[in-house]
Amino acid sequence: MRSIYETPDRKVFQQTIAKFVASEITPYVDEWDEAGEIPWELHAKAGALGIYGLGIDEAYGGLGFDDCFMRVIIGVEVARCGAGGVGAALGGCNIMTGPLQALASEEIKRKTLPAIMAGREGGALCITEPSGGSDVANMETHAVRDGDDFVINGSKTFITGGMRAKHFVVGARTGGPGLDGISLFYVEKGAPGFTQTALAKKMGWWASDTATLYFEDVRVPASDMIGQENMGFLAIMNNFNLERVGLIATALGCSKLCLSESIRYAQERHTFGKPLIKHQVIRHKIAEMSSRIDALETYLNQIAWMVNEDEMPVAEICKAKFFGTQVYEYCAREALQIFGGAGYLRGTPVERLYREVRVVAIGGGSEEIMRDLAVRQMGL
Ligand SMILES: Cc1cc2nc3c(=O)[nH]c(=O)nc-3n(C[C@H](O)[C@H](O)[C@H](O)COP(=O)(O)OP(=O)(O)OC[C@H]3O[C@@H](n4cnc5c(N)ncnc54)[C@H](O)[C@@H]3O)c2cc1C
């Protein structure tokens, strides 16, 4: 569907990312997914195209401007490679550069952002803990002031990029209980007492490493606090908004791939003497998928416009996140059904798309939490 928000710059950006994904990523996703990682060189290629640079100053290697429509383009086009783990491995650092740009000291920015922008080094955002990810205000990892340092103890889990990243943004309790006692810290891989273990094989997102991180008396200088002391919860919540926009775009891109794969297969496959696409039941599945995708795309475009206007639409982002997951879930189900038994076999994109739906409904704020937050935003 043509968007009223399309501009020549956005069109060129979309075509550039789409070409990069089609030529440099899609042909290799099966191999990388089975291997459990992507080649690191891919980060440099993505960096050169500006995939990490939106919202980051040029002084730190960023693009020097932001455009939520371009954020959506990245999410949609990378998702079209058909392997969520490749997208997470490639772009996972995008959820931690925002707090660095907005809140970190000049020294930390210079140390981290240019290397991440260029794709030389990776970054990870560490909020979720073994005791839970939804209840951020009750995180247990803590940092205690000791002279000019803070000493961090605790653990984080489900951290995307946790094994391969060099730079970590970590939430930790510096004050009393609840949301008023949380701060953010910069921690570098190799810091004494900071260790990582890879999580066991996941249901999907195989190409993306996911780790549990342990902090045992990890000492960081007080200047490595990101933002103000005890104001970390607000920073985490603000950061979630754009992470969720990225996940909605991922759901949209995956849904579009379900549709295009369904159409391709339904044109090739014959049953009862005619192509599947000529059977009315299948045509109705295609129509239904397409209509839900249009609704999601329109919704997301409206959100992107509001973000660009500096009106962060928190409630709409929450609603679009669970709505987008439902669209993706429906499209994956119908796509696999159109493929029949072939869709049940490893090696068809729809098999992976179907398997990877749940993580979009859980990561970055689960469906239940999104509904709860949306209703709270409505003042209820
Ligand atoms: C592949 C993957 C990658 C991830 N990457 C990262 C990352 O890079 N960084 C990071 O910090 N985290 C990451 N996460 C963690 C993710 O954000 C959390 O899994 C998510 O926030 C949910 O937390 P939880 O799994 O601890 O579930 P819990 O918080 O334990 O919740 C369990 C279930 O209960 C529901 N629930 C919880 N509270 C309520 C309530 N009040 N009312 C109704 N239902 C409720 C939840 O919706 C969920 O369905 C990742 C997760 C996955 C699976």
pLDDT tens series, the chain, 380 aa: 889 999 999 999 999 999 999 999 999 999 999 999 999 999 999 999 999 999 999 999 999 999 999 999 999 999 999 999 999 999 999 999 999 999 999 999 999 999 999 999 999 999 999 999 999 999 999 999 999 999 999 999 999 999 999 999 999 999 999 999 999 999 999 999 999 999 988 999 999 999 999 999 999 999 999 999 999 999 999 999 999 999 999 999 999 999 999 999 999 999 999 999 999 999 999 999 999 999 999 999 999 999 999 999 999 999 999 999 999 999 999 999 999 999 999 989 999 999 999 999 999 999 999 999 999 999 99
**121: alpha, beta or left, given left = phi > 0 and alpha = psi -120 to 50?**
beta
- Give the residue, out of 141, 362, 376, with the most ligand 1 atoms within 8 A of its beta carbon, to mutate for a pocket test: 362
In what helix (H) or strand (E) does residue 220 lie, and over which residues does it extend?
strand 210-221
Cβ(362) to ligand 1 under 6 A? yes
Q: 132 C-alpha to center of ligand 1: Å?
A: 7
Cβ(312) to ligand 1 under 6 A? no
pTM of the shown model: 0.98
Q: Nearest CA to 116 among 173, 40, 184?
A: 40
Strand 142-146 with 149-160, pairing: antiparallel
**Nearest Cα residue to atom 11 of ligand 1:** 127
The Cα 204–Cα 130 span in angstroms is 20
In what helix (H) or strand (E) does residue 221 lie, and over which residues does it extend?
strand 210-221
Q: 348 C-alpha to center of ligand 1: Å?
A: 28
The angle, 0 to 180 degrees and rounded to 10, between the axes of the packed helices 41-48 and 84-91 is 70
Instruction: Tell me the backbone φ, ψ of residue 19, rounded to 5 degrees.
Output: -65, -40
The Cα 258–Cα 334 span in angstroms is 8
Domains and CATH numbers, the chain: 8-117 (1.10.540.10), 123-233 (2.40.110.10), 234-377 (1.20.140.10)
Q: 133 C-alpha to center of ligand 1: Å?
A: 4
The Cα 211–Cα 162 span in angstroms is 5
